[in-house]
Amino acid sequence: MVKSGKKKGEFCFVYKPSGKVQKVALAGSFNQWKPQTMTKQKNGEYTLTIPLAAGYYEYKFLVDGNWMEDKDNGAYTFNPYGTLNSVLKVD
């Protein structure tokens, strides 16, 4: 899930695990696909807030070493590896 951050131009990425996980990171076209570790919240969700300029972005979560699309985001595109990337369009 992606929601607006507290400041203008910030976006909060949220991953809700369905079971126990050790580490969750976020990677996408906005950070050259270099995974950034997400912070575990008291409610069990993992979050990371980042500033984004207007544009089209593809991203995935890296959960315990496995790439996962954002199941709470219905916007997807195919990637060169035959899997899906989640898509975020920022106006």
Q: Which of 62, 63, 16, 20 is nearest to 41 (CA)?
A: 16
Q: Residue 6: is its pLDDT beyond 80?
A: no
Cβ(89)–Cβ(52) under 8 Å? Answer: no
Q: Residue 19: is its pLDDT beyond 80?
A: yes
Domains and CATH numbers, the chain: 2-90 (2.60.40.10)
Q: What percent of the chain has pLDDT over 90?
A: 87
Give the distance between the most distant pair of CA atoms in the chain.
Answer: 36
Write down the pLDDT at residue 5.
Answer: 72
Cβ–Cβ contacts within 10 Å for residue 32, how many? 7
**pLDDT digits over 23-67, tens only?**
999 999 999 999 999 999 999 999 999 999 999 999 999 999 999
pTM exceeds 0.85 for this model: yes
Write down the pLDDT at residue 59.
Answer: 98
**pLDDT digits over 72-85, tens only?**
999 999 999 999 99
